[in-house]
Amino acid sequence: MEEVLTLEEAAKYLKIAKPTLYRLLDEGKIPAFEVGSQWRFSRDLIDRWLWDQVPRKKTVMVVDDEMLICMDLRKIIISEGHDAVTTQSGLEALEIAEENHFDLVFLDLVLPDIDGLEVLKELKKKNDAQKVVIVTGYPDSELMNAALELGPISAIKKPFNRKQIVDVLKYLTALQNVGKNE
């Protein structure tokens, strides 16, 4: 049988003050229903809501022919609490993407086997919503212009700094939280 909590019981269960619970209700952020003029809460729904509030680790792929760039990006991504997979080959990136889901891909456009534009096209064919950030030393190239038409979420010029990468990771998390709450 589903356990239904009063406002006071829910505040105690969540270990928050009643005004905080009222604010969450006003903002539509917590599941609840009204019985008469009183708020009620399903313990199961509250538990699911709490689970959804836990920040989720993202899985990020780095595709760059320069090993040092791969290592730098991997170190930043991991230090921000996410998983990172790196490759220096466009073809290998496509193989890895066939087997795995990535929340984000950092993609160089100049690769030794196929160019990053082809990798981007294939990633978008597989998943049109794939989030990609172009990382390039050639921001004014024709290749870059063609890549921008395919809709990466951002482009970062090499050399990049840590803050740029962290900002992209935070933006990704914010994007996913917005989608989750709609």
Assign 87 a pLDDT band (cuts: 50, 70, 90).
very high
Separation between Cα atoms, residue 115 and residue 118, nearest integer Å: 6
The pLDDT of residue 152 is: 85
Helices (H), 18-161: 18-26, 43-53, 67-79, 90-99, 116-126, 142-148
When mean pLDDT is compared across 51-60, 74-83, 173-182, the lowest value belongs to 173-182
- Check residues 175 and 129 and name the one with the higher pLDDT: 129
pTM of the predicted model as reported, rounded to 2 decimal places:
0.70
The pLDDT of residue 137 is: 87
The pLDDT of residue 176 is: 64
Q: 7 and 33 in contact (C-beta within 8 Å)?
A: no
- What are the structure tokens assigned to 133, written together? 């950030």
